Amino acid sequence: MKQMSLGERGFERKTKRTRKREFLDEMNLVVPWAELVSLIAPHAPQPGTKGGRPPFAVETMLRIHFLQQWFNLSDPAMEEALYDTPMFREFAGLDIGEDHLPDESTILRFRHLLEAHQLSIQILATVNATLSAKGLLLREGTVVDATLIAAPSSTKNSRSERDPEMHQTRKGNQWYFGMKAHAGVDADSGLVHTVTATAANAHDITQAHALLHGQESDVFADSGYRGVQKREEILTRHPDVNWHIAMMPGKRKALKKDTAMGAMLDKLEQTKARIRAKVEHPFRVIKRQFGYAKVKYRGLAKNTANLLTLFALSNLWMVRKRLLNMGTQG
């Protein structure tokens, strides 16, 4: 009996709209492709004068790079996915009938291009400028927080050592090894506007000044940022900002809520907690939606560039419904 291929069985004609298909269709509509391509194109390789195979289009490589972020794929896994998944080829504008598809080295070189020219931070800025123009990013208040990102702790590698730029830290009764992603988030929309990265043992308070864009009047943070108002870099760069720091859990528990003052202070803490909760949403998106639970590369520079792209894409994902509604109404 002749073995039939999937195509011969007619699977390519099935019309079921999967969640992955819906996700890619939505992101295809909300990503500002033209602006991002014009940002990267001046740095991209140009066709050679002596002939040879021309480079892939910037938009094609950018779409592949974003597929890597959304589905947490390494360079080799991304190359295989382009062959195995017609939906990915379609999204990238590639045809399996072409002479070749981008291999892992081509995908790697495009990522290095973004890193070499520090384009990831410009990608986040371009996305946020698009969202600001549509009234989705207000910049009146900021929430600051940090989250741990694990790194491989094994020394079973070619260098027989762990990444020297990562570090271990203790949270509660558990030890972690890796890095820490610090984010400044718009207090109204929950969209990320600023990102930094440090080793996991760096204290959150040391990055507070770098997470402010300078236009906010109020900043919200958890109790780990106590004393931030007294730091020299804050007094120098952001002297007029009002800091709203959460009360220590033990102190809040000791409040006498049956008194007017205690009830008022507890209500104030509830309000601050509701605002601070918005910073958890982008962290959840990159970790759960995009699967970014562990660093992909060695060194803080490469992983910071990766984080900037992830948060740019998480911003678009978080407001995709509103952007699509705007497009429909327009």
Per-residue confidence (pLDDT) for residue 5, from 0 to 100: 47
What does DSSP assign to residue 51?
A: -
Print burial letters for 163-175: b (CB count within 10 Å at least 16), e (below 16).
bebbbebeeeeee
For residues 96 and 89, the answer to whether their CB atoms sit within 8 Å is yes
What is the DSSP track for 195-253? EEEEETTS-GGGGGGGG--S--SEEEE-GGGTTGGGSHHHHHH-TTPEEEEPPPHHHHH
Q: What are phi and psi of 135, to 5 degrees?
A: 75, 20
Can you list the domains of the chain with their CATH numbers? 16-46+55-116 (no CATH), 139-299 (3.30.420)
Q: Give the residues across from 195 on adjacent strands.
A: 183
What is the per-residue pLDDT for 259?
86
> Quick one: pLDDT at residue 171?
85
- Residue 252: what pLDDT? 77
Amino acid at 28: N
pLDDT digits (tens, 9 = 90+) for 264-290: 888 888 888 899 999 999 999 999 999
Token reading at 161: 């050592």
Residue ranges, the chain, pLDDT below 50: 1-9, 330
241, 243, 200: which is closest to 222 by C-alpha?
Answer: 243
Nearest alpha-carbon partner for 25 in 288, 325, 324: 324
Give the per-residue pLDDT at 180. 96
**Would you state the pLDDT for residue 173?**
86
Residue of 96, 196, 188 whose CA lies nearest to 145: 196
Q: Which amino acid is at 21?
A: R
Cβ atoms of 160 and 172 within 8 Å: the answer is: no
